[in-house]
């Protein structure tokens, strides 16, 4: 399968973000002949105050029904280009305990525009980075609960989002579900990206003996309090042996790679880690 990573610099203007995404996806398909495109985390709205995030979000429909602007944009990309679309993640508006909250949600569409999967980010980014910057995703978002897999053109695939990559138990659960590939959109910070992005992605691929496809945002955005923050970019595809077969830099753009799924079984046969597992 030929997979494209769509590396974006989103801001708070949803319409501008949509236009950027449509342009890059069209280029990846027409110039790169992509069969599956993978977009980054919260590409539809990054930064701004809580109300900005809420206004850029939407309630997701029952699969098969018509949805909002973002939902239909992703579905139309799949239909128009005849490709699989992994929609990174968007803000899903949900009601919880009488209050309007958001979920950080992935949507996957098949080439006919059918919704094949949706996944809510399980692990919320509530941390203080070494330079003292604080992040509290749980102030705005609710956590998902379900480990999610999807069949993409016959490839059993696991779904994760950004901070999820630090939790090996999720990836071991996906390995137990016998996935051959994991798709992971992200908006990794510059500081943590420089320190941990590649090493964690390679570790997850090695321990799962599966392809890991990670697509990140890049560049600067502005938080609610006016703070400017930088995301890392460097979107990456890693083989089941831990080899980096594609990496982008820090610019807006896209890249494609041909992913050989036969490497999964070859790797697992040579080193039967799952059969040798003792502790879970």
If DSSP states are collapsed to H, E and C, what string results for 90-109? EEEEEEECCEEEEEEEEEEE
* Confidence class for position 224, pLDDT limits 50, 70, 90: confident
216, 40 Cβ separation under 8 angstroms = yes
Lowest mean pLDDT of 6-15, 101-110, 134-143, name the range. Answer: 134-143
Mean pLDDT, the chain, as a whole number? 96
State what percent of residues in the chain have pLDDT above 70.
100
* Confidence class for position 135, pLDDT limits 50, 70, 90: confident
Model pLDDT for residues 52-82, shown as the tens digit of each residue: 999 999 999 999 999 999 999 999 999 999 9
Please determine, for residue 280, whether its predicted confidence score (pLDDT) is greater than 80. Answer: no
Q: Name the one residue in this structure whose structure tokens are 């699969």.
A: 63
DSSP H or E stretch at residue 247: strand 244-247
Q: What is the pLDDT of residue 96?
A: 86
Q: What is the pLDDT of residue 58?
A: 98
Give me the helix-helix angle, 14-30 and 69-81, nearest 10°.
10
232, 259 Cβ separation under 8 angstroms = no
| pTM for this prediction | 0.96
Q: Which residues are catalytic?
A: 41, 121, 162
Please determine, for residue 239, whether its predicted confidence score (pLDDT) is greater than 80. Answer: yes
Closest CA to 163 of 145, 187, 179, 141: 187
DSSP code of residue 113: S
Tokens of 184: 């992971």
Please determine, for residue 276, whether its predicted confidence score (pLDDT) is greater than 80. Answer: yes
Please determine, for residue 213, whether its predicted confidence score (pLDDT) is greater than 90. Answer: yes
Q: Using the Cα atoms of residue 238, residue 23, residue 104 and residue 46 in order, give the sign of their dihedral.
A: positive
Q: Span 9-33, mean pLDDT?
A: 98
* Confidence class for position 214, pLDDT limits 50, 70, 90: very high
Lowest mean pLDDT of 93-97, 252-256, 259-263, name the range. Answer: 93-97
Model pLDDT for residues 98-124, shown as the tens digit of each residue: 889 999 999 999 999 999 999 999 999
Model pLDDT for residues 140-184, shown as the tens digit of each residue: 899 999 999 999 999 999 999 999 999 999 999 999 999 999 999
Query: CA torsion angle for 27, 162, 123, 96 (degrees, to 10)?
Result: -30
Q: What is the pLDDT of residue 17?
A: 98
């Amino acid at each position: 399968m030929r997979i494209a990573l769509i590396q974006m610099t989103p801001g708070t203007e949803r319409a501008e973000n949509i236009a950027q995404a449509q342009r890059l996806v069209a280029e990846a398909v027409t110039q790169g002949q992509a069969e599956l495109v993978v977009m980054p985390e919260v590409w539809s709205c990054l930064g701004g105050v809580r109300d900005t995030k809420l206004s850029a979000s939407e309630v997701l429909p029952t699969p098969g029904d018509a949805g909002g602007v973002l939902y239909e944009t992703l579905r139309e990309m799949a239909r128009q280009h005849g490709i699989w679309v992994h929609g990174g993640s968007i803000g899903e508006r949900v009601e919880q305990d009488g209050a309007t909250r958001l979920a950080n949600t992935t949507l996957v569409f098949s080439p006919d525009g059918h919704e094949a999967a949706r996944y809510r980010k399980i692990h919320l980014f509530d941390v203080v980075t070494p330079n003292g910057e604080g992040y509290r995703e749980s102030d705005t978002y609710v956590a998902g609960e379900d480990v999610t897999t999807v069949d993409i053109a016959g490839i059993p695939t696991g779904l994760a989002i950004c901070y999820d990559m630090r939790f090996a138990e999720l990836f071991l659960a996906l390995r137990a579900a016998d996935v051959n590939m994991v798709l992971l959109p992200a908006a990794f910070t510059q500081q943590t990206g420089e320190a941990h992005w590649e090493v964690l992605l390679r570790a997850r691929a090695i321990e799962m003996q599966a392809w890991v496809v990670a697509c990140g945002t890049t560049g600067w955005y502005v938080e609610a309090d006016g703070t400017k923050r930088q995301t890392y970019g460097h979107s990456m595809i890693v083989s089941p042996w831990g080899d980096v077969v594609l990496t982008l830099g820090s610019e807006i753009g896209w890249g494609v790679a041909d992913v050989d799924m036969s490497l999964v079984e070859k790797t697992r046969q040579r080193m039967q880690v799952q059969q040798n597992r003792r502790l879970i």
